[in-house]
Amino acid sequence: MLPSLKRNWNKYGAVATLAPKYFLAYRGWVWLELFVRALAMTIFYFFWNAVYAHNSTIGGLDLRQTLNYILLAQSIGDIAGSDAIWTIGSLMREGLIGIELLRPVDFQLTRYLFSLMDMLVALIVSIPLLLLGVLAFGLQLPTDPLVWLAYLIALVLGHAAQYMFMWIIACAGFYTTEIWGLSVLVWSIRNFLSGALLPLSMFPAWLLLIASAVPFAQALFVPVSILSGVTPLAAAPRLWLIQIGWLLALFFVSRLVFRVAVRRVTVQGG
């Protein structure tokens, strides 16, 4: 039993350590992404100041609450994005999917661990953006360590739930062998329904219902709303339970869908 656990730990631990190396290998891309996100923070800051010029509250939030949320969403909120669709599509296109499936590890688990470590590294790399928000735009970070802990728990749970959902969509790659268009479509929908552009509390009731029907908000709005103070800390346990429910349901569905879809595996060129 113990030797088996040790072997699995060594295998999956090795996969997890690859993520930071892969992330930091493309330093030029990292700096470019930080610049783009800093530019987005600047644009959103002046945009929302203009919107609130003649409004005291919107969707129950005042200017400071909205800015806190938006600045956090733009700096560290979007790090929980999943690359499952692009990963499977790339492996299909390059003809490497067969090799991955033959490895003596769980394909879905290894890709999830890689994505999880990638998210944690992105969180660390985003620290300069937090400092920019504090120094330039008056971002107010919570001083209570329990808020940060609640944020991290919600972030990990939300990321896992969203990853399983993305994995289900990514299984379409086994039938189409090309997912570029699908990945762009899903990314665009996720960017809006996750709360990356504005708090979900500002959505009309019908749009909020749609956003609640998919797990995108679990990976961004839920953790960021806790960290920004939009959602009180006392509500965190209830939100965790909802995230766990999403995660368990999507995990079992993703395993089933993958088991069926992998039987149709083909690669371009043969």
pLDDT tens across 30-68, in order? 788 889 899 999 999 999 999 999 888 998 899 999 999
- The tally of CA atoms less than 13 A away on the side-chain side of residue 18 is 12
- The tally of CA atoms less than 13 A away on the side-chain side of residue 55 is 14
pLDDT at 18 over 70: no
Q: Which of 233, 192, 229 is nearest to 214 (CA)?
A: 192
Instruction: Place 92 in a pLDDT band, splitting at 50, 70 and 90.
Output: confident
8-state DSSP, 58: E
| Beta pairing partners, 93 | none
pLDDT at 17 over 70: no
For 227-263, give one letter per residue: b (16+ CB within 10 A) or e.
Answer: bbbbbeeeebeebbebbeebbeebbeebeebbeebee
Backbone φ/ψ region at 198: left (φ over 0), alpha (ψ -120 to 50), beta? beta
Mean pLDDT of 20-28: 63
For residues 133 and 39, give the distance between their C-alpha atoms in angstroms, rounded to a whole number. 11
For residues 14 and 244, give the distance between their C-alpha atoms in angstroms, rounded to a whole number. 27
Mean pLDDT of 148-162: 95
**φ and ψ at residue 115, rounded to 5 degrees:** -65, -40
Mean pLDDT of 131-148: 94
Mean pLDDT of 175-196: 83
Mean pLDDT of 225-247: 96
Question: pLDDT tens for residues 191-224?
Answer: 889 999 899 989 999 999 999 999 999 999 999 9
Structure tokens at 22: 């892969």
pLDDT at 5 over 50: no
Q: Say if residue 148 is exposed, middle or buried (CB neighbours under 10 Å; 0-12, 13-18, 19+).
A: middle
For 5-32, give one letter per residue: b (16+ CB within 10 A) or e.
Answer: eeeeeeebeebeeebeeebeeeeeeeee
| Report field, pTM of the whole predicted structure over 0.95 | no
Instruction: Measure the CA dihedral 39/42/46/52, to 10°.
Output: 110
Range with the lowest mean pLDDT among 31-35, 50-54, 97-101, 153-157? 97-101
Instruction: Place 181 in a pLDDT band, splitting at 50, 70 and 90.
Output: confident
